[in-house]
Amino acid sequence: MTTSAPVSLDAALASFDDLWSPRIVTRVNDYDVRIAKVAGEFVWHAHDDTDEFFLVLDGELTIALRLPADGGRESAVTLRRGDVFVVPRGTEHRPSSADGASILMFEPTGTVNTGDHEGDVPEHITRTTGSALAG
């Protein structure tokens, strides 16, 4: 999916409206570079085999965490435009955005966005390994 032309993240984000449904904008080695529009709450989940990188492109994203080293005690980080954060592998987390945000993530190709979450997901969330950008 790598291209010889630059990808405009603004244009890519303008090409879809779905929330919590990441689009793959390019690949770096065995990693997807995904963008998503988010609003409301995601589901609690973990990725046992990979860290998860978040960059906020617009808006504000809060990531609630349940840290295994703290006995599962909950904490949270709030990211604003231009902030990055890495959720360590195996850490249960739940992203959310009260007013909506646009984010960029690096994840190994084939990583399911809902991680180890086994239950149903709310209607506003798409369980996916990412979709190609239209066009």
108 is written with which tokens?
């190994």
Per-residue model confidence as pLDDT tens digits over 91-106: 999 999 999 999 999 9
To the nearest whole number, what is the mean pLDDT of the chain?
A: 91
Residue 4 placed within a domain = no
Average pLDDT of 76-92?
96
Does pTM surpass 0.85? yes
| Residue 1 pLDDT grade (very low, low, confident, very high; cuts 50, 70, 90) | low
Pairing of strands 31-41, 92-108: antiparallel
Whole-number pLDDT of residue 4? 75
Question: Do 67 and 51 contact (CB within 8 A), yes or no?
Answer: no
**Structural domain includes residue 2:** no
Reduced 3-state DSSP string for 36-100: EEEEEECCCECCCCCCEEEEEEEEEEEEEEECHHHCCCEEEEEEECCCEEEECCCCEEEEEEEEE
Q: What is the pLDDT of residue 135?
A: 59
CATH label of the domain that carries residue 90: 2.60.120.10
Rounded CA-CA distance 89/23 in Å is: 22
Q: 116: domain range?
A: 9-132
Number of domains comprising the chain: 1
Angle at 77 between CA 71 and CA 83, to 5 degrees: 140
Residue 39 in 3-state DSSP?
strand
In the predicted model, is pLDDT for residue 86 greater than 80? yes
Helix (H, G, I), strand (E, B) or coil at 26: strand
- Classify residue 23 as exposed, middle or buried by CB count within 10 Å of its CB (0-12, 13-18, 19+): buried
